[in-house]
């Protein structure tokens, strides 16, 4: 429709309807793109209306949302943006801020693939780094989106899944010494801040043994420190956790790689300062009918450190400035989207 509804939004709520003050000058469609021109006085019609003041700010912050139909309701995609005020009577510097875009109404982040050595993806021109080349993955799978073609109908049937979970635990003993320690969460992605990446199919004619895609990442232990109170969230490592004057570093107790079957070949974690291999993991495929080793199942076991009386290597301390290196290998005889290469650690 051509109607405009004006609201003063609430906090994550629909808010209240305002008196009309916006006029639709024109609304046209060309080449599959709709262009709408609106007009409204700079000063708000009432105190509850927003008033524009270009002298108070160089930009107007906006929120864009994509609805599910013509009726006002919860949106299915949204993103924040800024409209810059331009003085038409003077010269304006134009700066390149990277390739921008959106998927299903959600903005695609700019520069999500940091430069080497933090990440290889930009250097390798991995398709997941730009909205121009993004083929599929997490950004197509937000809540409320159905992965069907435009001409397909969403079926009415609802699928239900049931999971059975068994938890094993040990009773904690406080005396004479605490039997357990509270471990903090340490996390890093070999794909760095992209959160995922594409497995690019190897070139035709490549010998099967050479169809291996490798990515790496280098970072310091302090890069994993989240300086917020531990009780505030599971990713917090403490307010002063980046302060080398208060903390010598971390004892690494658990390092669990996260990658996707069946193309994941291996993940390795090194102390890049010494060249010492800290953890090397390959997926383990079931070979028998015994529990935890069944045919058709696989596991990606973690690396553990702890009490030598329990058969574990003692943890070594990693200073906040220790540089770590992650190496991830994938079989790329077949290409696919949404691969991951993260280290889920505790220390």
Per-residue tens of pLDDT for the chain, all 347 residues = 567 888 888 766 788 899 999 999 998 999 988 898 889 998 999 989 988 887 777 677 787 887 777 777 777 777 777 777 777 777 766 665 556 788 777 888 888 999 999 999 999 999 999 999 999 888 888 777 787 888 999 888 888 999 999 999 999 998 888 888 889 999 999 999 999 999 999 999 999 999 999 999 999 999 999 999 998 888 899 999 999 999 999 999 999 999 997 899 999 999 999 999 999 999 998 999 998 889 988 889 999 999 898 899 999 899 999 999 999 999 999 999 999 999 999 99
Beta-carbon contacts of residue 196 (< 8 Å; ≥ 6 apart): 128, 137, 138, 337, 338, 339, 340
CB atoms within 10 A of CB 199: 21
Answer yes or no: pTM beyond 0.85: no
Query: Reduced to 3 states, what is the DSSP secondary structure of residue 25?
Result: strand
Residue 313 is given by DSSP the state: B
Tell me what pLDDT residue 223 has.
Answer: 96
- Please report the pLDDT score of residue 272 as a whole number: 95
Among candidates 241, 223, 226, 210, which has minimal Cα distance to 117? 223
Residues 6+ apart with CB under 8 A from 286: 292, 293, 294, 295, 296, 297, 298
**Tokens 């390149």 sit at which residue?**
96
Q: At the topology level of CATH, where does 127-142+182-346 sit? A: Jelly Rolls (2.60.120)
Tokens of 312: 């574990």
Residue ranges, comma separated, of all CATH 2.60.120 domains in the chain are: 127-142+182-346
**3-state SS track over 30-91:** ECCEEEEEEECCCCCCCCCCCCCCCCCCCEEEEEEEECCCCCCCCCCEEEEEEEECCCCCCC
């Amino acid at each position: 429709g051509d109607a405009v509804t004006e609201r003063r939004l609430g906090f994550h709520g629909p808010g209240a309807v305002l008196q009309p003050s916006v006029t639709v000058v024109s609304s046209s469609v060309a080449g599959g793109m709709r262009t709408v021109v609106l007009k409204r006085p700079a000063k708000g019609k009432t105190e509850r209306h927003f008033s524009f003041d270009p002298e108070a700010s160089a930009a107007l912050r906006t929120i864009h949302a994509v609805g599910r139909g013509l009726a006002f309701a919860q949106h299915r995609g949204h993103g924040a943006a800024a409209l810059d005020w331009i003085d038409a009577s003077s010269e304006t510097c134009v700066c390149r801020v990277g390739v921008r875009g959106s998927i299903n109404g959600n903005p695609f982040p700019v520069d999500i693939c940091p430069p080497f050595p933090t990440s290889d993806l930009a250097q390798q021109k991995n398709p997941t780094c730009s909205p121009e080349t993004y083929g599929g993955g997490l950004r197509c799978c937000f809540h409320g989106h159905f992965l069907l073609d435009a001409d397909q109908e969403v079926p009415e049937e609802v699928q239900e899944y049931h999971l059975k979970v068994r938890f094993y635990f040990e009773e904690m003993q406080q005396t004479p010494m605490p039997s357990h320690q509270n471990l903090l969460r340490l996390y890093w992605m070999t794909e760095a801040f992209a959160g995922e990446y594409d497995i690019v199919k190897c070139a035709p004619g490549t010998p099967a043994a050479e169809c291996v895609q490798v990515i790496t990442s280098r970072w310091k232990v302090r890069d994993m420190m989240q300086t917020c109170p531990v009780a505030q969230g599971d990713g917090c490592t403490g307010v002063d956790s980046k302060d080398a004057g208060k903390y010598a570093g971390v004892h690494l107790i658990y390092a669990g790689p996260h990658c996707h079957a069946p193309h994941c070949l291996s993940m390795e974690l090194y102390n890049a300062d010494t060249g010492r291999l800290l953890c090397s993991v390959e997926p383990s495929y079931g070979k028998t009918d015994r529990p935890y080793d069944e045919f058709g199942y696989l596991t990606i076991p973690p690396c553990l450190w702890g009490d030598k009386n329990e058969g574990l290597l003692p943890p070594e301390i990693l200073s906040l400035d220790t540089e770590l290196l992650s190496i991830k290998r994938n079989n790329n005889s077949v290409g696919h989207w949404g691969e991951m290469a993260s280290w889920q650690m505790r220390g």
